[in-house]
């Protein structure tokens, strides 16, 4: 059967920066005009497997998603967020397991963590579009470069050609103190999309809850899109110590 | 209606030294029995790097072994990947002609272009280009088989004039097919006069629409070869057992295992945004199938799993929408013990095949009959 994640969840949680979610009831956020840079790289699958709870399976080949998104408006004002995710499957469904997020707004970092369990930290996060490239850059609050990623040779495609996946966030539920995996199912309405050549300039796995285990080894693709994004209410949560079929609970319709 | 068997050759972990040989041996034993029972054809995929899901990377060798063990069954590539990074077109022409000779003129040639990043990325093929290279390949292959000398200057490949040898023994050349996974590919098949080789497990209703489109368009096609192969084939699972409960239970286990396994692969479109792959292809179909509507026994509509009566109903349903052939996947990850797979083939041949005109004479050999 497909290989599953082998993470020691308790040990990982003890050493990682995870969010404390305030229950599973939240309302939608509609975020207009988001600028989204996504860069995909294949990664070492044996190591990636150790960063995944048994709930999910690594995709074959394993890959990481480097995402930097600028939201020009939100209920807490404009903000830019960067995530590193590992491509995975929950049962048969494609997902991105978020290892860590950096946000350039304290209010946004707090709200995203409390409402959807994003493992946020505050940092300097920038997304810049130039005529020949789009660049995402993350510097921690301590001044360390965590990520610099580019899409080169910009080329227009259709928004319909872009396929994003829902994300999953390992977090602690304030209501019962238990570790849980929250599934975040955004909806995207694209107004513009581009594809280009991926270039990972700098990446420090340890600054993304990855220890030394996220090792990008082959570029796949890069895309840049402008879209209206709806962060929807939470519908599914999973027990990180069980497979998705047995351990997933529906918490809203 | 004709019935064939179809191989992905899935090999479960742990991959101890003997496991691949055991799986290949089981497949060949099934093929030999299927030939005796009157199945019309055996098909093998070409997949690369698809862990557990498919270890069938050299189908021409597997199909040659099948041809050596059978007398009547046709042997089919389902499909050859028509992307230059995977297969040079000259080598495809040479290999297929050789297999046609060795099989005594029993070769069917399915063509396609791959749909996973596992494979396209592994061979460093550009997903934007695969539809174009496939189109060039299918237009060249019949000429390479039939013309004494062939030269070509094209977009994805070229060659000076040479004599490509050997030539197939079927005249004018072996029947050609196209793998139909993405919506609209049945139209590509029909426009070129190629058979529609369905490789997803879509619903009967979806297939009915595809068949109607295909028949309408192929009536006015411009064939790429010297013959028009106006046939629609679909793929299905088969587990037929006289004990209803056992048939459903083992069959469902095979179905679930296959879908679960396939879902772990990385579809080209999921990794690489491109208009060349307008849908996720095989993978979402499988996911839909896994969670789609099912009968009270939990078996989705149109799937040939259960007792002979239910399997017969499923096959008749496909026949009613104009499908000419059904190719059956017999196992997944060795979920079903080999003896049960062989018994399923015998049960199908005895109780189901005789109800179909083209298969009845063969089925008589299995002790079947109305």
pLDDT at B262: 86
- B130-159 mean pLDDT: 97
ipTM value of the model? 0.93
Q: Is the pLDDT of residue B226 over 50?
A: yes
| Residue among A2, A63, A93 whose CB faces B271 most closely | A63
- Tokens standing for residue B293: 């509507």
Residue of B50, B115, B266 to mutate when probing chain A, most A C-beta within 10 A? B266
Number of domains in chain B: 1
Give strand pairing partners of B306: B240
Q: Is the pLDDT of residue B360 over 70?
A: no
pLDDT at B287: 47
Model confidence at B289, in pLDDT bands (50, 70, 90)? low
The verdict on residue B369 lying in a domain is no
Are B271 and A221 a contacting pair at CB < 8 A?
yes
Are B265 and A42 a contacting pair at CB < 8 A?
no
- Segments forming the whole domain that contains residue B26: 2-364
Residue A42 near chain B (CB below 8 Å): yes
Q: Give the sign of the dihedral formed by CA B220, CA B206, CA B34, CA B63.
A: positive
Give strand pairing partners of A63: A42
Element (H, E) at B44: strand B41-44
Dist CA B354 CA B370 (whole Å): 6
pLDDT at A1: 77
- Per-residue pLDDT of B332-350, as tens digits, reads 999 999 999 999 999 999 9
Q: Give the sign of the dihedral formed by CA B225, CA B229, CA B230, CA B236.
A: negative
Give strand pairing partners of B116: B267
Q: Give the sign of the dihedral formed by CA B155, CA B160, CA B162, CA B165.
A: negative
Query: What pTM was computed for the model?
Result: 0.93
Which residues neighbour A237 within 8 Å (Cβ) at sequence distance 6 or greater? A24, A180, A181, A182, A183, A248, A249, A251
The verdict on residue B296 lying in a domain is yes
Residue among B79, B115, B113 nearest B96 (CA): B79
Q: How many CB pairs below 8 A link A and B? A: 76
Please compute Rg for chain B using Cα positions: 20
Which residues neighbour A236 within 8 Å (Cβ) at sequence distance 6 or greater? A183, A248, A249, A250, A251
pLDDT at B369: 32
Are A92 and B266 a contacting pair at CB < 8 A?
no
Q: What is the mean pLDDT of chain B?
A: 91
The verdict on residue B179 lying in a domain is yes
Q: What is the mean pLDDT of chain A?
A: 96
> What is the DSSP-derived secondary structure letter of residue B244?
H
Q: Is the pLDDT of residue A10 over 90?
A: yes
Residue B268 CB-density burial (10 A; 0-12 exposed, 13-18 middle, 19+ buried)? buried
- Please list every residue in chain B whose beta carbon sits closer than 8 Å to the beta carbon of residue A59: 264-266
CB A180 within 8 A of CB A172: yes
- B195-207 mean pLDDT: 81
- Per-residue pLDDT of A71-110, as tens digits, reads 999 999 999 999 999 999 998 899 999 999 999 999 999 9
Element (H, E) at B5: strand B2-7
Dist CA A37 CA A135 (whole Å): 8
DSSP codes joined into one string, B300-368: BTT-EEESHHHHHHHHHHHHHTT--EEEEE--STT-S-HHHHHHHHHHHHHHTGGGSGGGHHHHHTTT-
Give strand pairing partners of B3: B326
Indicate the SS3 state at residue B240: strand
In this structure, the dihedral spanned by the alpha carbons of residues A113, A184, A152 and B182, taken in order and rounded to 10 degrees, is 180
- B138-166 mean pLDDT: 98
Residue A250 near chain B (CB below 8 Å): no
Distances (CA, A) of B264 to A87, A110, B44, B258: 10, 34, 21, 11
pLDDT at B294: 62
Dist CA B264 CA B251 (whole Å): 21
pLDDT at B182: 78
Are B261 and A61 a contacting pair at CB < 8 A?
no
Ramachandran sector of residue B124 (left: φ over 0; alpha: ψ -120 to 50; beta: rest): left
Q: Is the pLDDT of residue A159 over 60?
A: yes
Dist CA A45 CA B305 (whole Å): 36
Which CATH number fits the domain that encloses residue B163?
A: 3.20.20.30
- Tokens standing for residue B28: 């060949």
> What is the DSSP-derived secondary structure letter of residue B146?
H
Dist CA B22 CA A108 (whole Å): 57
Indicate the SS3 state at residue B87: coil
Please name the residues between 147 and 176 in chain A that touch chain B, using a CB distance below 8 Å: 157-158, 160-163, 165
The verdict on residue B194 lying in a domain is yes
- Please list every residue in chain B whose beta carbon sits closer than 8 Å to the beta carbon of residue A40: 271
Dist CA B367 CA B349 (whole Å): 8
Pick the CATH number of A9-246 from 2.170.120.12, 3.40.50.720, 3.40.50.1110, 2.40.400.10: 2.40.400.10
> What is the DSSP-derived secondary structure letter of residue B299?
P
Segments making up each domain of chain A, as ranges: 9-246
- B151-166 mean pLDDT: 98
DSSP codes joined into one string, chain A: --------HHHHHHHS--EEE--S----EEEEEEEEEEEEEEE-HHHHHTTS-TTSEE-BS-EEEEEEEEES--TT--EEEEEEEEEEEETTEEEEEEEEEEES-HHHHHHHHHHH---EEEEEEEEEE-SSEEEEEEEETTS-EEEEEEEEEEEEE-GGG----EEEEEEEETTT--EEEEEE--EEEEEEEEEEEEEEEEE-GGGGT-TT---EEEEEEEEEEEEEEEEPPP-EEE-TTS-HHHHEEE---
The verdict on residue B42 lying in a domain is yes
pLDDT at B85: 98
- Per-residue pLDDT of B290-334, as tens digits, reads 445 566 677 888 999 999 999 999 999 999 999 999 999 999 999
- Per-residue pLDDT of A30-58, as tens digits, reads 999 999 999 999 999 999 999 999 999 99
Q: Is the pLDDT of residue A131 over 70?
A: yes
pLDDT at B366: 45
Q: Is the pLDDT of residue A206 over 90?
A: yes
DSSP codes joined into one string, B103-145: TTS-EEEEEE---BHHHHHHTT--GGGHHHHHHHHHHHHHHHH
Indicate the SS3 state at residue B239: strand
Q: Is the pLDDT of residue B288 over 60?
A: no
| Nearest-by-CA chain A residue for B50 | A60
In angstroms, the separation between the Cα of residue A163 and the nearest Cα of chain B is 6
Q: Is the pLDDT of residue B362 over 50?
A: no
pLDDT at B300: 83
Q: Is the pLDDT of residue B367 over 50?
A: no
The verdict on residue B370 lying in a domain is no
- Please list every residue in chain A whose beta carbon sits closer than 8 Å to the beta carbon of residue B275: 157-158, 160-161
- A202-221 mean pLDDT: 98
Ramachandran sector of residue B22 (left: φ over 0; alpha: ψ -120 to 50; beta: rest): alpha
Q: Is the pLDDT of residue B370 over 70?
A: no
Residues comprising chain A, all counted = 253
Residue with tokens 């990446």: A203
């Amino acid at each position: 059967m497909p290989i599953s994640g082998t993470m020691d969840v308790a040990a990982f949680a003890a050493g990682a920066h995870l969010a404390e979610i305030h229950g599973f009831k939240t309302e939608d956020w509609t975020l207009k005009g988001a600028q989204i840079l996504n860069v995909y790289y294949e990664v070492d699958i044996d190591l990636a497997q150790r960063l995944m709870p048994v709930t999910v399976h690594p995709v074959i080949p394993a890959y990481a998603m480097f995402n930097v998104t600028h939201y020009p408006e939100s209920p807490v004002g404009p903000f830019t967020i960067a995530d590193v995710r590992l491509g995975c499957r929950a049962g048969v469904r494609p997902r991105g397991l978020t290892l860590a997020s950096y946000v350039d707004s304290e209010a946004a970092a707090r709200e995203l963590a409390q409402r959807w369990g994003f493992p946020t930290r505050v940092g300097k996060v920038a997304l810049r579009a130039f005529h020949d490239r789009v660049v995402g850059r993350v510097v921690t609050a301590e001044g360390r470069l965590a990520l610099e990623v580019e899409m080169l040779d910009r080329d227009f495609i259709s928004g319909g050609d872009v396929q994003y996946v829902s994300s999953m966030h390992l977090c602690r539920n304030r209501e019962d103190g238990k570790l849980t995996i929250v599934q975040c199912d955004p909806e995207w309405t694209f107004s513009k999309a581009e594809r280009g050549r991926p270039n990972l300039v700098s990446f420090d796995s340890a600054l993304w809850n990855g220890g030394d285990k996220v090792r990008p080894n082959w570029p796949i693709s890069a895309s840049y899109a402008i879209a209206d994004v709806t962060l929807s209410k939470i519908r599914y949560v999973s027990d990180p110590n069980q497979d998705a079929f047995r351990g997933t609970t529906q918490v809203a319709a | 209606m004709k019935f064939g068997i179809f191989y992905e050759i899935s090999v479960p972990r742990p991959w101890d030294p003997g496991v691949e040989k055991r799986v290949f041996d089981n497949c060949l034993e099934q093929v030999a029995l299927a030939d005796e029972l009157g199945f019309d054809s055996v098909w093998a995929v070409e997949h690369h790097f698809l862990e557990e899901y498919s270890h069938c990377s050299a189908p021409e060798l597997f199909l040659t072994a099948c041809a050596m063990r059978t007398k009547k069954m046709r042997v089919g590539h389902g499909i050859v990947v028509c992307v230059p990074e995977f297969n040079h077109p000259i080598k495809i022409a040479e290999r297929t002609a050789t297999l046609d000779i060795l099989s005594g003129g029993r070769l069917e040639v399915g063509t396609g272009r791959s749909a996973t990043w596992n494979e396209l990325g592994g061979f460093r093929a550009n997903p934007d280009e695969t539809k174009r290279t496939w189109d060039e390949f299918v237009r060249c292959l019949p000429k390479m088989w039939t013309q004494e000398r062939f030269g070509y200057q094209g977009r994805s490949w070229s060659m000076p004039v040479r004599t490509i040898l050997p030539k197939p023994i079927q005249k004018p050349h072996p029947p050609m097919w196209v793998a139909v996974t993405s919506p609209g590919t049945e139209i590509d098949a029909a426009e070129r006069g190629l058979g529609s080789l369905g490789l997803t497990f879509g619903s009967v209703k979806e297939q009915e629409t595809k068949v109607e489109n295909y028949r309408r368009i192929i009536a006015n096609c411009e064939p790429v070869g010297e013959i028009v192969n106006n046939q629609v084939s679909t793929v299905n699972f088969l587990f037929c057992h006289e004990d209803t409960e056992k048939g459903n239970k083992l069959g469902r286990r095979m179905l679930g295992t296959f879908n679960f396994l396939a879902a772990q692969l990385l579809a080209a479109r999921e990794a690489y945004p491109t208009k060349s792959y307008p849908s996720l292809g095989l993978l979402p179909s499988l996911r839909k199938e896994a969670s789609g509507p099912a009968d009270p026994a939990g078996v989705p509509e149109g799937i040939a799993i259960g007792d002979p009566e239910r399997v017969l109903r499923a096959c008749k349903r496909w026949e009613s929408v104009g499908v000419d052939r059904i190719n059956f996947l017999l196992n997944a990850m060795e979920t079903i013990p080999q003896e049960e797979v062989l018994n399923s083939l015998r049960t199908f041949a005895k109780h189901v095949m005789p109800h179909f005109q083209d298969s009845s004479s063969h089925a008589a050999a299995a002790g079947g009959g109305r």
